[in-house]
């Protein structure tokens, strides 16, 4: 035929257009396919609930203040204690059910190495799971050393209004209240002086 071997310029242009369009659509498709994969690199809600670590900057935390975080669906309290509070803690031992934290299920070993009465890695920073060990209520923090209706010799601590359980500023439970054990200290460590990581033991920690 007369046109054998001759390319129709219109068909060539159309072919290029289709080829380019196919390439663009293919690239867009790869982009959409990649979105769920990239998202999977971030901790999912299930992973966080299962115990993914939680990090916080505590550089702005002042004495008597509490930072509330969430780990494994539980409230975590990070509190900066004053020197007066730290000095008062040993004075409460005779009023507490487990003053030396002998119930080892309530805290990691490494928080007791320096001082069992403080129950903390850093003396001034307390880290507790904010759930009463009686029925899981949320105690109120009353950090001031002053008489309270529920304790005229109050040295600061946590009071659960639901069933009247009381804990000191180290989370140690008082005698004669419904709560059977001290508040739980979660696994944690410090990445540096101002950064706390909840959910991971320090290197070499038990």
Mean pLDDT on 84-108:
96
pLDDT in tens, 133-176: 999 999 999 999 999 999 999 999 999 999 999 999 999 999 99
Which overall architecture, per CATH, does domain 47-198 show?
3-layer Sandwich (2.102)
Question: What integer pLDDT is reported at residue 25 of this predicted model?
Answer: 41
Residue 23 pLDDT grade (very low, low, confident, very high; cuts 50, 70, 90): very low
Distance between CA atoms of 175 and 180, rounded to whole angstroms?
9
Q: Where are the domains of the chain?
A: 1-42, 47-198
Least confident among 47-51, 72-76, 133-137, 192-196 = 47-51
Question: What integer pLDDT is reported at residue 89 of this predicted model?
Answer: 97
Residue 115 pLDDT grade (very low, low, confident, very high; cuts 50, 70, 90): confident
pTM (predicted TM-score):
0.75
pLDDT at residue 196 is higher than 90: yes
pLDDT at residue 185 is higher than 60: yes
Closest by CA position to 82, among listed 33, 130, 126, 52: 126
Distance between CA atoms of 73 and 167, rounded to whole angstroms?
22
Percentage of the residues of the chain whose pLDDT score is greater than 90: 70
Residue 204 pLDDT grade (very low, low, confident, very high; cuts 50, 70, 90): low
Q: What is each CA distance from 166 to 19, 124, 181, in whole angstroms?
A: 74, 20, 11
pLDDT at residue 119 is higher than 80: yes
pLDDT at residue 112 is higher than 50: yes
Distance between CA atoms of 206 and 192, rounded to whole angstroms?
20
Distance between CA atoms of 158 and 14, rounded to whole angstroms?
77
Mean of all residue pLDDT scores within the chain = 82
Residue 37 pLDDT grade (very low, low, confident, very high; cuts 50, 70, 90): very low
């Amino acid at each position: 035929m007369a046109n054998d071997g001759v390319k129709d310029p219109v068909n060539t242009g159309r072919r290029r257009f289709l080829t380019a369009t196919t390439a663009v659509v293919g690239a867009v498709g790869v982009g959409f396919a990649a979105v769920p994969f990239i998202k999977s690199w971030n901790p999912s809600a299930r992973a966080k609930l299962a115990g993914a670590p939680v990090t916080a900057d505590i550089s702005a935390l002042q004495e008597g203040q509490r930072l509330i975080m969430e780990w494994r669906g539980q409230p975590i309290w990070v509190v900066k204690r004053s020197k007066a509070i730290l000095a008062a803690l040993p004075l409460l031992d005779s009023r507490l059910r487990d003053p030396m934290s002998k119930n080892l299920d309530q805290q990691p070993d490494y928080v007791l190495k320096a001082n069992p009465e403080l129950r903390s890695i850093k003396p001034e920073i307390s880290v507790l799971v904010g759930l009463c060990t009686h029925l899981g209520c949320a105690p109120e923090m009353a950090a001031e050393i002053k008489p309270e209706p529920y304790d005229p010799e109050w040295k600061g601590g946590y009071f659960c209004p639901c069933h009247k359980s009381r804990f000191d500023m180290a989370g140690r439970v008082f005698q004669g209240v419904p709560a059977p054990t001290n508040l739980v200290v979660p696994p944690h460590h410090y990445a540096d002086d101002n950064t706390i990581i909840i959910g991971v033991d320090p290197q070499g920690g038990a």
